[in-house]
Amino acid sequence: MPSKRHALITQLAPIPHLTFRQPPGKWPGYAVAVWGVLFAIPSFVWAMGSTFGAESTVSPSLVKLARDGVPWFMAVLWVTGFLKLVGALIGIGLTRVRGLRMSRLLVFCGGGAAVLLAWHGGLFVVHGVQVEAGFVAVEPGLLGLTRWYLYLWGPWFVAGGLAFAAATVRYVRRYDDHRALRIYGAVGALGALLLSLASSITGIG
């Protein structure tokens, strides 16, 4: 028969509220953070007027805009640089236990980013493979640039998408109410897919 002291301790002991079955895996989120920071560096370098590393790896029309310091394009570079840092923060956010509202936002953004990046990078890779296989013709002067998009930018975007996907999936799976969070991730991914399709059809973006 339990003692009165044991019974009192049992009554006073708080019942833990488990938000996660186990802590979310951290390495995919940190991979997203590193990816975002590294990807932001060229944007900020080019936004400050330098075209270092861009002349042979980026579309000539974009290099010209950066070299000429076109105001709207420079603003785009600054904005994209900060967005990449936001992506890094999302990755860090997916490494630790968060509140419900923050978890929904993180999963929504993570799902959307995964699709956007994988789609964007996949297009670069597919186009590059078609050029290398001779199915699509490009101007001789752009052949080297196409290979940069095939071997560098395409895989880089895909790697970022996979990192976001891994971080988001691991976060959702360890959440007690993972079905509700899964909906937010699916909505983010679907929205990104529709946006990507619209961009491909219209040629904008």
- Enumerate residues 6+ apart whose C-beta is below 8 A from 143: 131
Looking at residue 204, its pLDDT comes to: 60
Local confidence band at 95 (pLDDT 50, 70, 90 cut-offs): very high
Looking at residue 48, its pLDDT comes to: 92
Where b means 16+ CB within 10 Å and e means fewer, 19-53 reads: ebeeebbeebbbbbbebbeebbebbbbbbeeeeee
Looking at residue 144, its pLDDT comes to: 87
Q: How far apart are CA 128 and CA 136, in angstroms?
A: 9
The number of residues in the chain equals 205
45-73 mean pLDDT: 88
Q: Is 54 exposed, middle or buried (0-12, 13-18, 19+ CB in 10 A)?
A: middle
Give the global pTM. Answer: 0.83
